[in-house]
Amino acid sequence: MLEKLKERVFKANLSLVKQGLVIHTWGNASARDIKSGLIVIKPSGVSYKKMKPGDMVVLDQDGKIVEGKYKPSTDAPTHLLLYKEWKTINGVVHTHSTYAAAWAQAGKDIPPLGTTHADHFYGEVPCTRRLTEQEIENDYEVNTGRVILERLAKSDPLAVPSVLVNCHGPFSWGLDAEEAVHNAMALEEIARMAFYTVTLGTSKPADDYLLKKHHERKHGKNAYYGQKKKKK
């Protein structure tokens, strides 16, 4: 089943390594099949060097293994909850990339300090609250998804396509697995820029009107960045 989607999820996971967002087995990417609702995700703890497209695990919406010889990623319950609550996304990525994880470990939102940030994210990149001991001991991965949803309760997930889980690391998502990887890459670069900007002594966000201009010229119905698609 879903051989093409397995190949895409496999390549998405390898992209995380290629882009320097993941070392060892510290990350995972998944995608949802729009027609069936089934989710394809990386197997848990399998080396990227040895992994093959056929090793990807297929899950139903409740997390039951439909196809695959390996256990799915331990973060699968988090992915599943995000897919359940956000119908507009079909790809999720989790990494422990250095700069984004540093902001997560500090428990801080990444402020919108300039236009590079605004080109990609509307407002700050939010950081969740810390999970309680009870939340960690009972359904940890599900509760990780819950604090993400709690933090982004009033946000459009496609306008803010990443979050920092406090003391843990970043999750990113998108219309598909490829876009989720793209967003994870953008997040890490923005986190790096913000780190240096704050180190240089500035943590005040850029003016709202500048941030709005840069975000809206790339996103939304009035966007004018890039080339228009030619009508056939």
Active site residues: 119, 225
Alpha-carbon distance of 155 to 123, in angstroms, equals 10
Nearby residues of 6 by Cβ (< 8 Å), 6 or more positions away:
40, 53, 54, 56, 58
Residue with tokens 């700069």: 99
Nearby residues of 106 by Cβ (< 8 Å), 6 or more positions away:
none
Q: Beta strands of the chain (E only): which ranges?
A: 27-32, 39-41, 57-59, 65-67, 91-95, 162-165, 169-174
